[in-house]
Amino acid sequence: MPDIIDDITSLKKQKNATILAHYYQDSEIQELADFTGDSLKLARAATRVDTDVIVFCGVHFMAETAKMLNPEKRVLLPDLQAGCSLAESCTASELARYQQMLREKGHRFQTVTYINSSAAVKALSDWVVTSGNAEEVVRRIPPEEEILFVPDRHLGGYLEDVTGRKMILWDGACMVHEIFSVRDLLDMKRKHPQARTIAHPECPANIREHSDFIGGTEGMLRFVGGFSAPAEFIVATEVNMLWQLKSRYPQHSYHPVPGITCACNKCPHMARNTLEKLRDCLLYERPEITWQPEFERARVVLQRSLLN
């Protein structure tokens, strides 16, 4: 292990690279990264990087976003197959057809797209949001306009709850957050009656309704950071988030909510990035995210949505 970490550290210097890692990456990758964050923080951090190369330890849409916001940088992703069930649930052709059908029926709407989507889908959107800014963006849209929210129906449902705004929801879901077991969550709450339950807004309503706090990964860190005396938290999000919570706030105890078929809920796409692949991608400078024609339009939407 130490050898590979030394290799990565020296390759990083040699190649003038910065490593960004999402909180859902394995702990050894988060530990090595120059910046860790949620989707919003990492997209913004990518625009402030002063090295020639960005290695994005996350999933494909995140690296693609970093490339769109920094066309002049080389953006590497340790495993190009690191995808996202949400992004897969909404293709650009399906979205274009649906938008066309709504227009023909006389709907006047803006398309608000979760960042967990392809560049081609972002290019068809008015706004791109993350769990960190979605509520603020939705509140800014004039009430006379309808909202088409894609692709996460659970995040969309949560936004409807907090803003009171009905939206047209795409039928996508995150494979990690969709399968938390409500029965296990209720058992855990009985076993740990003092614990506060924190849940990501990608969770279905039946998990959110039993939660004391709902927020993205950065929001969770802020919430937990508000408790100084030792406390207990039941956590409904990807299990690697617990490492980040424990390392920042070790005085507390954390219990992951199990999935329906697994003891803890891990994103198989995020898990594709390993230390070996991180080392190799620095060494060979690939896989690389290359510029695509749809990036230009998507970039305008991203800049308007995330950087203003």
Closer to ligand 13P by CB, 167 or 241: give it. 241
Q: Sort 137 into a burial class: Cβ within 10 Å, 0-12 / 13-18 / 19+.
A: buried
Residues of span 68-87 touching ligand 13P by CB under 6 A: 84
- Cβ atoms of 200 and 215 within 8 Å: the answer is yes
Residues facing 111 on adjacent strands: 148
Least CB distance from residue 54 to ligand 13P, whole Å?
17
For residues 201 and 87, give the distance between their C-alpha atoms in angstroms, rounded to a whole number: 16
- Angle at the Cα of 90 (from 207 to 72), degrees rounded to 5? 105
Task: Assess 178 for contact with ligand 13P (CB under 6 A).
Answer: no
Task: Assess 258 for contact with ligand 13P (CB under 6 A).
Answer: no
Task: Assess 39 for contact with ligand 13P (CB under 6 A).
Answer: yes
Closer to ligand 13P by CB, 216 or 287: give it. 216
Least CB distance from residue 281 to ligand 13P, whole Å?
20
For residues 251 and 273, give the distance between their C-alpha atoms in angstroms, rounded to a whole number: 30
Least CB distance from residue 161 to ligand 13P, whole Å?
17
Gyration radius (Cα) of the chain, Å: 19
Contact pick of 30, 85, 125, 217 for ligand 13P (by CB under 6 A): 217
With H, G, I as helix, E, B as strand and everything else as coil, classify residue 74: strand
Task: Assess 25 for contact with ligand 13P (CB under 6 A).
Answer: no
Phi, psi of 79 (to 5 degrees): -135, 115
Least CB distance from residue 42 to ligand 13P, whole Å?
8
Burial 181-200 (b: 16+ CB within 10 A, else e): beebbeebbeeeeebbbbbb
For residues 98 and 100, give the distance between their C-alpha atoms in angstroms, rounded to a whole number: 5
Residues of span 112-141 touching ligand 13P by CB under 6 A: 116, 130-132
| Binding footprint of ligand 13P, residue count (CB under 6 A) | 11
Task: Assess 197 for contact with ligand 13P (CB under 6 A).
Answer: no
| Residues contributing to the site for ligand 13P (CB under 6 A) | 24, 38-39, 84, 116, 130-132, 202, 216-217
